[in-house]
């Protein structure tokens, strides 16, 4: 079994509908009256898309996507906003200590737990 991950965006439109599309797969989209219905519809669209690719024996697209969200902060007395990018961990509320962040960078894919007896 092989699994691939494709980011899906759900956008609330001004008219009350919810649009869904898949990043990296042009033409795979859906719209519905609620998030739940849009999620169900985009799953169906993905199944149909990959089913069609299998039917014509086309190669399944592989995407490498990093998710970042723009954090725009408006400060009193300033006309220009501060714009930063935050990752998925920040959105989910995962707090990491500075030591754990350093260890993650140092250890690479091994993870962010600092090794015993070392303090940076």
In tens, the pLDDT along 81-113 reads 999 888 777 666 666 667 777 777 777 655 555
Exposure string over 18-36, b if 16+ CB within 10 A, otherwise e: bbbbbeebeebbbebeeee
Residues 96/114, Cβ–Cβ less than 8 Å: no
Q: How do residues 50-84 score in pLDDT, each as one tens digit?
A: 999 888 887 777 777 777 788 889 989 888 999 98
Highest mean pLDDT among 8-12, 99-103, 112-116 belongs to: 8-12
Greater pLDDT, 6 or 95: 6
Domain ranges of the chain: 8-55, 68-110
pLDDT confidence bin for 115, thresholds 50/70/90: low
pLDDT greater than 90 at residue 24: no
Token digits of residue 77:
């007395």
pLDDT greater than 90 at residue 1: no
Token digits of residue 87:
């990752």
Would the CA dihedral through 75, 81, 84, 87 be positive or negative? positive
Token digits of residue 20:
């869904």
Q: What's the confidence (pLDDT) of residue 44?
A: 96
Greater pLDDT, 30 or 79: 30
Q: What's the confidence (pLDDT) of residue 64?
A: 75
Q: What is the dihedral of CA 41, 42, 43, 45, to 10 degrees?
A: 90
Give bridge partners of residue 68 from the DSSP assignment: 87
Q: What's the confidence (pLDDT) of residue 94?
A: 62
H or E, element range at 8: strand 8-12
């Amino acid at each position: 079994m092989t699994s691939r991950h494709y980011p899906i965006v759900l956008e609330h439109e001004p008219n009350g509908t919810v649009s869904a599309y898949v990043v990296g797969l042009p033409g795979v989209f859906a719209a519905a009256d609620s998030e739940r219905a849009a999620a169900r519809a985009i799953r169906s669209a993905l199944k149909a898309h990959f089913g069609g690719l299998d039917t014509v024996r086309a190669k399944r697209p592989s995407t490498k996507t990093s998710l970042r969200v723009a954090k725009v902060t408006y400060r009193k007395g300033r006309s220009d906003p501060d714009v930063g990018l935050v990752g998925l961990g920040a959105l989910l509320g995962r707090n990491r200590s500075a030591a754990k962040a350093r260890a993650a960078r140092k250890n690479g894919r091994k993870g962010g737990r600092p090794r015993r007896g070392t303090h940076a």
